[in-house]
Amino acid sequence: MRSGLLAALSLLAASGHAQGNADGGAPAGRVVRIELPRRVEVRIPSGKFWMGVDEQSRNTARTLCNEYYPAINAVTISNQRVNFCEDYFDDLTAMESREVYVDSFMIDRDEVSVEDYRACVAAGSCTLDPLVAGDERYIQSGWPMVNVTWGESKDYCRWRGGRLPTEAEWERAARGDDPGASFPWGDKEQSNDYNHGQPRAHAMRNIDRVPAQTPIQFLGDPDDSDGAQILAPPGSYPWGEGPFGTRDQAGNVAEWTADAMFATPDKKGYFGLPASNPRRDGGIHDPRIVRGGSWRQPTFIARSNLRDPFAKEYDPNRRFSHVGFRCARSITPTTAAPSAEPAPARAKPGRD
């Protein structure tokens, strides 16, 4: 596809140049080459898997939420005052583990990088805003793209010929066929196998750039014990890869998905969602579901079956220094997938 695009652009520019000379005018300009980013995807087979939160997982999440966020007692959600961690627990309870079917699809092995996004800007298909708005300290070529709104991430994936993954697709890629897999690599937490954070230090809350009235202020702090002070280049933790070969689905940056949260407090979790290719489009202002935990969040949020406890704060038009994305695309069972990476064995690569 890339060679065809380059040939077409070269031909168009050459034609314009020739026409300009024939008319006696100035040359039409030089040929501009637009390189699409190298697309490395993995194929996720169709099938059923266990999606959602079992009783033990949600009880653990509730305990750790209260431990890590003791300063958040009551927050306003949909004009109602609620207990932060109890509301999170209620949402997880409504995400009771169940068998779900998804069609086969392709998904990026790694998170989209700043360099990848810049290519889309150069092509005229993505806005420059994420590169200059928000906290510029986190915009570096080799790092995953952050400060990007939900809509801007959709635009990038569309340019790539794809879309954002649904919540069910994201979890399918992270958990595979193992109903007990709490993390992409299995059921045991291995805290140095991914880029995660730690609970928020009280002193840091006073100097963060996030408005003090929002719960996001309590996200957490970096933890360099995993080998990265803040962000890490996508794919830096191959020993933490998922069952189909995805990397960084636990930690590094949390990731936008296509699905919307419910806008009213009386509907939670998987309410009303079918068990086959579940997806909730929602309204344009509904918060969007973010998955996977990040470099500035405690480790429990990186579990593959949990939503982010701050989910209701993820307005699709806001920018966050810890939220990025990866792309997916639909395929049919007979579609050839030459760019797909083979599904890896469960054994981890060696570490130095």
pLDDT single digits (tens) 174-200: 999 998 899 999 988 887 889 999 987
For 215, the token pair is 């719960």
DSSP 3-state of 41: strand
H/E stretch holding 22 reads helix 2-22
pLDDT at 8 over 70: no
Give the C-alpha separation, 53 to 47, whole Å.
Answer: 19
pTM above threshold 0.85: no
DSSP 3-state of 108: strand
What does the chain come to in residues?
A: 352
Which class for 59: exposed (0-12), middle (13-18), buried (19 or more C-beta within 10 A)? middle
pLDDT in tens, 16-42: 333 344 444 444 444 444 455 556 999
Q: Return the residue matching tokens 């083979």.
A: 342
pLDDT in tens, 263-296: 677 889 999 999 999 999 999 999 999 999 999 9
Amino acid present at 334: T
Strand pairing report for 47-51 and 340-341: unpaired
Give the C-alpha separation, 200 to 46, whole Å.
Answer: 40
Q: What is the pLDDT of residue 204?
A: 63
Quick check: 253 and 231 in contact, CB under 8 A?
yes
- Enumerate the β-bridge partners of residue 183: 186
pLDDT in tens, 226-255: 999 899 999 999 989 999 999 999 999 999
Q: What is the pLDDT of residue 75?
A: 67
Q: What percent of the chain has pLDDT over 90?
A: 62
pLDDT at 347 over 80: no
pLDDT at 305 over 90: yes
Which class for 213: exposed (0-12), middle (13-18), buried (19 or more C-beta within 10 A)? exposed
pLDDT at 338 over 70: no
Give CA 136 to chain center in angstroms. 19
Give the C-alpha separation, 87 to 66, whole Å.
Answer: 11
Q: Taking Cα atoms as reference points, which of 251, 208, 209 lies closest to residue 232? A: 251
Mean pLDDT of the chain: 83
